[in-house]
Amino acid sequence: MPKGDREIFKADIDDGYTKIADLLLEALAMAKLNGVQKGICLFIWRRTYGWGIKEDRIPLKDFARACDSSESYISKQIKQLVHWKVINRTSYEPGKVPSFTINTRVAQWDKGCLNVQGLNECISQGLYKCARVPLSDCARVDQTSALETQEVEPPLYTGYRQYINNDDDNAREERNKIVSTFEQEFGRLISPTEFEKLTAFIKDKNGFPEDVVCEAIKRARLHGSTNVSYVARVLNNWKDDGVINMAGVERVDKEFEQRKVKGCKPKARARPPDNGKKELIQSLYRS
DNA sequence: GCCACAGTATGGACTGTCTC
DNA sequence: GAGACAGTCCATACTGTGGC
């Protein structure tokens, strides 16, 4: 419920908030950018992550108003930020409004604007850890708990960050496939928790190949669900049916069609016990 | 096809602020 | 006071789009 605090310009997360990865905040704080350049970054965050999308078409006019600057100066600063790889201009045709995204791969930001080594040292030295016990939940927004499901604890987020920063080609390809499928189908960014839940199906001893996980995401979307629990249910059902790859998925589909033609009732699915969710979480921590 | 308009890109002159 | 830097303003060029 909106508190109406916006009317008196008192910020409150009940009136809306934007989920930003800590690493981006830490990098922006350290980046040697001028005021307008930081304003441009913040405005892109607001226009993209603030609405759960990866990129948005933003005209110079909007930037100029949001940053209280002129369009010509904004144009110059955007060019500089694109050159530094802090932001990406994903589509640009003269005469058309371009699309922008933030480059989440902070290591790619130009050395001229960010001391990556220094940032890494600050993180490892615990500079960004809160020195005091938080006064309330509002005083400390923990993205992994307050803004996500309450069942998740920091180790998952650490794993996610390590994964996001992983430069290994295979891992990057796997991440791209799952993350891009998720975000394309569900039209929103994947959260660390959701990411861990899905990759757990791959990391498992008898895990699925990633194309099966991607297929499950697409099935969920087809059935009107954008919930990762639905995806997990689909994958668990396939596991019960002995599916190990895409050929298995096709086999299960054919069997389903045949049962439908014969007029048989669909196979009853065993509902997981109430503690199933708890076990899933525990298994995530074990892996 | 022509024209007006919308939108971005760029360059240069200028001003204001800060530091040494 | 000089120099560096951030930022503004203006003019111009270019391209796409839509109306006639």
Instruction: Give the pLDDT confidence score for residue A220 in this predicted structure.
Output: 78
Fold classification of A15-125 is Arc Repressor Mutant, subunit A (1.10.10)
Which has the minimum average pLDDT: A11-25, A83-97, A113-127, A237-251? A83-97
Instruction: Give the pLDDT confidence score for residue A214 in this predicted structure.
Output: 84
Strand C nucleotides where any atom sits below 7 Å of a protein CB? 5-11, 14-17
> A35 with A62: CB under 8 angstroms?
no
- Å from the A85 CA to the B10 C1': 20
Residue for token pair 């002129």: A70
Confidence tier at A188 by pLDDT (50, 70, 90): low
Instruction: Give the pLDDT confidence score for residue A21 in this predicted structure.
Output: 85
Q: Where exactly are the structural domains of chain A?
A: 15-125, 170-262
Instruction: Give the pLDDT confidence score for residue A217 in this predicted structure.
Output: 83
Q: Which residues contact A47 (CB under 8 A, 6 or more apart)?
A: A56, A58, A62, A100
Residue nearest to nucleotide C8 (CA to C1'): A70
Over range A239-265, report the average pLDDT: 73
Over range A111-127, report the average pLDDT: 75
Over range A216-234, report the average pLDDT: 78
A37 CB below 7 A from strand C atoms: yes
**Can you read off the two tokens belonging to residue A273?**
């016990």
Distance CA A164, CA A176 (A): 10
- Å from the A23 CA to the C20 C1': 54
Topology match between the domains A15-125 and A170-262? yes
The more confident residue out of A167 and A122 is A122
- Tell me the sheet residues that pair with A133: none
A167 CB below 7 A from strand C atoms: no
Residue nearest to nucleotide C5 (CA to C1'): A34
Which has the minimum average pLDDT: A32-36, A50-54, A266-270? A266-270
Q: Which residues contact A60 (CB under 8 A, 6 or more apart)?
A: A71, A74, A75, A78
Using one digit for the tens of pLDDT, what is the confidence trace for A133-145? 554 443 433 333 3
The closest nt to A94, taking CA to C1', is C15
Interface residues 73-112 of A with strand C (CB < 7 Å): 73, 76-77, 93-96
The closest nt to A67, taking CA to C1', is C7
Q: Give the predicted TM-score (pTM) of the model.
A: 0.51
A69 CB below 7 A from strand C atoms: yes
Fold classification of A170-262 is Arc Repressor Mutant, subunit A (1.10.10)
Helix (H, G, I), strand (E, B) or coil at A266: coil
List the one residue out of A96, A114, A286, A82 whose CA is nearest residue A203. Answer: A286
Instruction: Give the pLDDT confidence score for residue A149 in this predicted structure.
Output: 31
Q: What is the DSSP string of A1-58?
A: ----GGGGT---GGG------HHHHHHHHHS---HHHHHHHHHHHHHTGGGT-S-EE-
Average pLDDT over chain A reads 67
Confidence tier at A256 by pLDDT (50, 70, 90): confident
Residue A34: other Cβ atoms inside 10 A:
10
